[in-house]
Amino acid sequence: MRSDNIKKGLERTPHRALMYATGMPKGEMKKPFIGVASSFTDLIPGHVGMRDLERFIEKGVHAGGGYPMMFGLPGICDGIAMGHQGMHYSLPSRDLIADMVESVANGHSLDGLVLLTNCDKITPGMIMAAARLDIPAILVTAGPMMTGRRGTEKLSFIRNTFEAMGRFKAGEIDEKELTECEMGACPGAGSCQGLYTANTMNCLAEAMGLSLPMCGTAPAQMAEKRRIAFDSGERIVGMVKEDLTPSKILTKEAFDNAIRVDLALGGSSNTVLHLLAIAREAGIDLPLERFDELSRTTPHIASFEPVGPHYLEDLHWTGGIPAVLKRLEDLVLDNPTSSGYSVAEIVSKVGEVEDDVLRPMKWPHHPEGGIAILKGNIAPQGAVVKQSGVSDNMMTFSGKAVCYDSEETAMAAIMGGEIKAGDVVVIRYEGPRGGPGMREMLAPTAAIMGLGLGEKVALITDGRFSGGTRGPCIGHISPEAMEGGPIALINDGDTIELDIPNRSLTLKVDEVELEKRRATWTAPEPKIKKGWLSRYSKLVGNASEGAVLK
């Protein structure tokens, strides 16, 4: 066992003394040491219920014959960090979390890991660490939040808070209804109810085989989630004995399966960044173009909030990710999973799947998957759009650029009534390096929708979007403005053409004029000049490669 490095032999007498000082019984020294990495915090609704799951994971590890050792990790709530300087820290925290898990696991020679997580950057950060370490690891996600209520009306976080701001501004709802939305949208613990980034990544972790079946969708604070936590704790000991490591699970087939599930469900565009980063840690060649290749042949068969009427609890009662894999049976590939069962074996146990939440392949919402990769002279290295959230009449669009060099200035213009039908809002210098941290643009996109401009205005950015974004919003434009990418050369009034079916994003300015603009362009001063983000901005790579630290 790896833990023999710190517990066996005469020269490890001091090490054992320190471990006994923690209260470890002598008889437990011979068992596998299982690290339980918990991101519990009082700061995030998705994580406040984790103390309960920690107990059940510990029980499971003991039942399996291991010795559990808890350690903590930080988390940032994207919803709370949204729209101010806090969002600069969200994406960078993914890499910090991966580094922390690596540091503790190697510093203490742990034999295996149970990774207790739930929200946006915490889940991919933990998976990145698992891939990097390549020691037995299993992921437990704390579960989605139940839907809120306003009388008999179902409420959800994005539609009934962020978009409600725009509706209030437009006079569609009064202050009483706004307050009722604010108080009722988030009824308790769990990750936000729709298929936003947290829930999408939790589903994809299961699709890749890193979580036990049903873990990705089982709602927070349910007895079923406790049982999954217990089973995961027990199972990790078996994985240590079997030497079932992430490299045996995170294969090319696993990534293709995860992408197919994402495309079929219409998940968050942020998964592109995270899957690219995880693949890099796993040593898997995953080009950005692979998402589009698979999207062409994967129908979009589900419609979840913020685009459609369903929520994660609906997916769970329909059969969860195993039911999705069953629907995609002819497209998904067999692969090992942490459960000890292969993907094919998991699918074979699924019965009939009802059509309400997961449509049959022959009757999809859209013939292509939820995400499309665009290219053109604005984004030579690619851009990402959640096409499942774009209406048919906005799949092609031509408009005049209105340029802003930060989210704050764009948001002020939108709320100030400066944006009109036919505009293409350009928000730049918000990429991984320029942001720094590639902030989500949920507030501007939600405001545009709330103001009734969702069918009349497009938005492009080198930043990114929340999984709750809908409408013709194109992000991850690469290279970013801070690198001198073409998005930096757009002027107010330039014509921009969007053609999602043909995967193009074009600035209607000839190359001679662009070269003139390029010759006079200079990079602006960094927005943040000290602390961790200053270092991050110097080390972070391109969004088309996952915005990983070089």
Between CA 92 and CA 543 the distance in angstroms is 13
Q: How far, in Å, CA of 8 to CA of 29, rounded?
A: 9
Helix (H, G, I), strand (E, B) or coil at 375: strand
CA dihedral (214, 219, 224, 227) positive or negative: positive
Task: Show the DSSP H helices in 392-431 as ranges.
Answer: 407-415
| CA angle centred on 281, ends 370 and 242, rounded to 5° | 105
Question: Token digits for 331?
Answer: 């497209």
In this structure, are residues 145 and 188 in contact, taking their beta carbons and an 8 Å threshold?
yes
Q: Is 136 left (phi over 0), alpha (psi -120 to 50) or beta?
A: beta
Backbone phi and psi for residue 411, each to the nearest 5 degrees, phi listed first: -65, -40
Catalytic residue among 156, 232, 466, 537: 466
Residue type, 388: S
* Other CB atoms within 10 Å distance of the CB of residue 168: 16
Tokens of 395: 């799949």
C-alpha span between 281 and 117 (Å, rounded): 19
Rounded Cα–Cα distance for residues 515 and 213 (Å): 54
Q: How many helices (H) and strands (E) does the chain have?
A: 22, 14
Residue 425 to residue 414: CA distance in whole angstroms? 9
* Residue 103: CB atoms within 10 Å: 11
* DSSP-derived pairing of the beta strands 423-427 and 396-404: parallel
Phi-psi region of 236 (alpha: psi -120 to 50; beta: other; left: phi over 0): alpha
466 is known as an active-site residue = yes
Distance of alpha carbon 340 from alpha carbon 250, whole angstroms? 14
Pairwise CA distance, residues 65 & 61, whole Å: 6
What residues contact 483, with CB distance under 8 A and at least 6 apart?
Answer: 431, 433, 434, 542
Q: Which two tokens stand for residue 190?
A: 């769990």
In 66-167, DSSP assigns E strands to 67-72, 112-117, 137-141, 148-150, 153-155
Check whether the bond before 124 is cis (ω within 30° of 0): no
| DSSP letter string, 452-501 | T-TTT-EEEESSB--TT--SSEEEEEES-GGGT-GGGG--TT-EEEEETT
- Please say whether the beta carbons of 26 and 38 come within 8 A: no
Q: Is the peptide bond before 322 cis (omega within 30 degrees of 0)?
A: no
Active site residues: 466
